[in-house]
Amino acid sequence: MNIRRAGIKTIQVLAGLAVLILIILWMSNAFYKKIEPGEVKMAAAKIAANTPTDVVKEEQVPVVEEASGTVEAKRKTIVSSRIMAAIREVKVRAGDEVTENEPLITLDDRDLAAHAQQAQRAVEAAQASATKAAADYKRAQELMSRNVIGRSEFEQAESANKIAQANLDSAQKAKQEADVATSFATINAPVAGRVVERYAEPGDTASPGAPLLAIYDPQSLRIEAPVRESLLSRVKVGDAIKVRLGDSTNVIEGKVGEIVPEAEAGSRTFLVKVDLPAGENIYTGMFARILIPAGERSRLVVSNKAIETIGQLDFVNVVAQNGEVSRRLATLGASAGDGRVEVLSGLAKGERVVLQPVEMAGE
């Protein structure tokens, strides 16, 4: 019984496998007659005498290599505090235009104001002491001239006057320092420009040297791009050069301002800096391309009117010397302008093509 069941199971497995094989063969068209590879000849067709045609032309076009880079600012200033204090107010945000000496950040100046008041009181006390010492010294001079006091008392009055004057000078300088420190509570723009980054908010503590804002001059932007060694000979400082910003198709003209005379070890490229003209809608960090002239190349072009697009394929009706027309598959490139397109393959220089569809009949 067990042998019989095993036999039935084996037959079922083999039958299933056979069905699976038949399905695979059917899906691969194994039961259909295949067309042998070769050319399908078309019936000869001729065009009328007034049918417009065009000739495939060869032309020389400039070759342009692109070097990708980033828009940077030649002058970028980091604004920081010279004292440690809590930030009371930040008056600007990223993108704001600022003028030189415009107030940007206000710090808590209560401690500074108290120190300034103390320094002022110290100046007043030193001034009073200096005034008294000067009067005592003047009186000592008069008494000394009349031999009323001795030399020792006169020298004491003279020394006290000098010490009082020195103390007054020291107090006045301390007052000046306190006033200067108080002025640090208001941070002004060191240069005119555009705020590009804001690193601090009200309530934060400003520390000496810690960045609070970043400002760049929008009139001094440039593109910094690595250029490979083989193209470096085509770029010179002072040359006018075309650039393209972002994904825009508009091309503007820049000027090569600097070439760093050292290659990057890994990529063997040199950093080229191209100065940009002042304009709107140009910001640091934008993607940009430098268009470097790299000689010329030849290309075949044909009128767009000669192209017949069927599905994803492009065909051209070519006129032979005897006037017969044949349809030919062509591989096209980019637009060549003036209603023409570049031909990568399928046509040869000087061939005549039809500018309107021609019905072709198979044999």
pLDDT value for 5: 72
Q: How far is CA 174 from CA 65, 85, 178, 181, in A?
A: 64, 20, 6, 10
For residue 307, give both structure tokens: 């192209």
Q: pLDDT tens digits for 185-195?
A: 899 998 888 89
With b for 16 or more beta-carbon neighbours within 10 A and e for fewer, the 255-284 pattern comes to bbbebeeeeeeeeebbbbbbebeeeeebbb
Mean pLDDT for the chain overall? 85
| Residue 362 clears pLDDT 50, i.e. is over it | no
| Residue 80 clears pLDDT 80, i.e. is over it | yes
| Residue 258 clears pLDDT 60, i.e. is over it | yes
Q: pLDDT tens digits for 155-177?
A: 888 888 889 899 989 988 989 88
Q: pLDDT tens digits for 197-241?
A: 899 899 999 999 899 999 988 888 899 999 988 888 888 999 999
pLDDT value for 16: 82
| Residue 77 clears pLDDT 80, i.e. is over it | yes
Q: How many CA atoms lie within 13 A of 9 on its CB side?
A: 6
pLDDT band at 363 (very low <50, low <70, confident <90, very high): very low
